[in-house]
């Protein structure tokens, strides 16, 4: 569609479909990954929407699981069973996108954000903590040591 492509002009907010299309392309490129490099999973921009953060923990987990299954349908393998070392999840708070990066090998979580300044997690209105909690609950049955 034309609208999302026009959002890639300087000074325009990138459309959510562009972010999700880029994630799908990166997942496709993972099939050509060199042996010995860390397998990565790139999630689309709708893993949890702003309205989903108001849901209960079980509601968020159900929504996240459905969205993760949709992402995994376009990857190889199509299940999350210890086959990814890095997971990238785009997040939206207000009108601003940023990226959560989960390094499952080291159990680290990083936030990539283009806003300058030394603001803490409060800038994300609790959404980062809720996403981390939801992702850990998603991983717990498959990877209890990582999700702890």
Band of residue 4 on the pLDDT scale cut at 50, 70, 90 = low
Does 51 score more than 80 pLDDT?
A: yes
pTM for this one? Answer: 0.86
Band of residue 1 on the pLDDT scale cut at 50, 70, 90 = low
Domain positions in the chain: 17-147
Does 78 score more than 80 pLDDT?
A: no
Residue 137: per-residue pLDDT: 95
Nearest partner of 77 among 31, 44, 43, judged by Cα: 31
- Just give the CATH number of 17-147: 3.40.395.10
């Amino acid at each position: 569609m034309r609208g999302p492509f026009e959002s890639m002009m300087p000074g325009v907010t990138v459309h959510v479909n562009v972010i999700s299309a880029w994630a799908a392309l990166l997942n496709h490129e993972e099939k050509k990954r060199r042996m010995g490099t860390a397998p990565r999973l790139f999630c689309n921009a709708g893993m949890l929407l702003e309205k989903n953060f108001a849901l209960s923990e079980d509601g968020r987990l159900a929504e996240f699981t459905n969205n993760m299954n949709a992402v995994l349908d376009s990857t190889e393998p199509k299940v999350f069973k210890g086959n990814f070392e890095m997971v990238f999840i785009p997040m939206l708070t207000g009108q601003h996108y940023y990226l959560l990066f989960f390094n499952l090998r080291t159990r680290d979580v990083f936030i990539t954000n283009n806003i300058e300044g030394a603001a803490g997690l409060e800038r994300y209105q609790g959404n980062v903590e809720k996403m981390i909690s939801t992702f850990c609950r998603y991983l717990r049955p498959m990877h209890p040591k990582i999700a702890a």
